[in-house]
Amino acid sequence: MILTVTMNPSIDTAYPLAGPLKVDDVNRVEPIKTAGGKGLNVSRVLGQLGDDVLVTGLLGGRMGDFIADRLDEAGVAHDFARIAGESRVCIAVLHEGNQTEFLEAGPEVGADELAGFEAKFRELAARADVVTMSGSLPRGVDAGYYAMLTGIAAGAGAKVLLDTSGASLEAALGAKRKPYLVKPNLSELGALLGRELPAGDLGEVRAAVEGDERFRGVEWVVVSMGAAGSVAFSGGRAWRARAPRIECMNATGSGDSTVAGFAHGIAAGAEPAEVLRLGNACGTLNAMDPATGHLPMKRWDDIYGAVEVTEL
């Protein structure tokens, strides 16, 4: 089973406008509402790939009920810890090719609620082969929380795929038990290293990853580079995956879809090059579909076949 963790899910609401955004005036809209959050995107894609997936995290109030209902409708199994605060709503106004976003911070989480989640996580992680953890943490949760969950899951024998950034990523890389895979994009890696990495200079990326003590003990470091694909490091070897040229419809959720592809491959015991091909195929397919965290499966064979993986 693949367990996915979403600590701060949201009702993602898109307001597509027919014309320009009218400021200080009325804009009439037909909303499109989805159960959102990076971990939920990972889960939906895993569902499309046919994996046995279970979703966990924190859910609160009526907004939380809405998210649970949407997951039920999509046939995605879930077991969340309930909290007193309301899960958040995030709004994206789509106007004239622009995307103006309003993101709620989400509920404040109490210490007893976190302890309740930890107990549930311990139980679920013991049944999982792979655990994915994605996105930022809600208010009131320490930056070391993912590092702590990683310790629990890895201690129970699960492979942890961690897709986060900033202080959370740093804490996980500084812990005794490290994640099995981390997937920073180029700018997240730059933030971790405290300097900008030039796009396209793979030698520099390789030197940065292989020379940094913090990555020791992490089985897989994958640096994703949007339309340019990704570069991956494992066991002293390095691979480059090139994504095929596509018409990009909506790349939001491509990183999450990539994580889903990795989780799928790793759970199946695939070879490194195959794991990379799966991840990149999922990321690229997601970018071809207007929906976030959704692959146009009719295009699977041609995109999967067109991802080029070479060892560096």
Residue 14 parent element (H or E): strand 10-16
The nearest distance, CB 43 to ligand ADP, in angstroms, is 16
Closest distance to ligand ADP from the beta carbon of 84 (Å): 31
In the complex, least distance from residue 207 CB atom to ligand ADP, rounded to whole angstroms? 20
User: What are the distances in angstroms from CA 308 to CA 45, 240, 281, 295?
Assistant: 21, 8, 10, 19
Contact by Cβ (8 Å): 132, 3? yes
Work out whether 41 is an interface residue with ligand ADP (CB under 6 A).
no
Residue 277-296 contact track with ligand ADP, rule CB under 6 A, x = bound: ---x--xx--x---------
Is residue 256 annotated as a catalytic residue, yes or no? yes
Question: Which one among 254, 266, 267, 275 touches ligand ADP, defined by CB under 6 A?
Answer: 254
Distance, in Å, from the CA atom of 110 to the CA atom of 116, rounded to the nearest integer, reads 10
Element (H, E) at 257: helix 254-267
Burial 37-56 (b: 16+ CB within 10 A, else e): bbbbbbbbbbbbbebebbbb
Member of 45, 128, 141, 243 binding ligand ADP (CB under 6 A): 243
- Residues 127 and 1: beta-carbon distance below 8 Å: yes
Instruction: Classify burial at 186, counting beta carbons within 10 Å of its beta carbon; exposed 0-12, middle 13-18, buried 19 or more.
Output: buried
Interaction mask 255-274, ligand ADP, x per CB under 6 A? x--x----------------
Q: Which of residues 210-239 bind ligand ADP (CB under 6 A)?
A: 224-227, 229-230
**Binding status of residue 39 toward ligand ADP by CB under 6 A:** no
The least CB distance from residue 229 to ligand ADP, in Å, is 5
Distance CA(149)–CA(133), nearest Å, equals 9
Residue 71: CB atoms within 10 Å: 21
Spatial distance between the Cα atoms of 164 and 112, rounded to a whole number of angstroms: 24
Binding part of the chain for ligand ADP, among 42-50, 55-63, 245-253, 290-298 by CB under 6 A, reads 245-253
How many Cα atoms occupy the beta-carbon half-sphere of 149 within 13 Å? 34
Minimum distance from CB of 214 to ligand ADP (Å)?
19
Which one of the listed residues 163, 256, 301, 302 is annotated catalytic? 256
Give residues 153-212 in contact with ligand ADP (rule: CB under 6 A): 185
Among the listed ranges 136-144, 147-155, 195-203, 242-250, the one in contact with ligand ADP (CB under 6 A) is: 242-250
Catalytic residues: 256
Interacting residue ranges for ligand ADP, rule: CB under 6 A = 185, 224-227, 229-230, 243, 246, 248, 251, 254-255, 258, 280, 283-284, 287
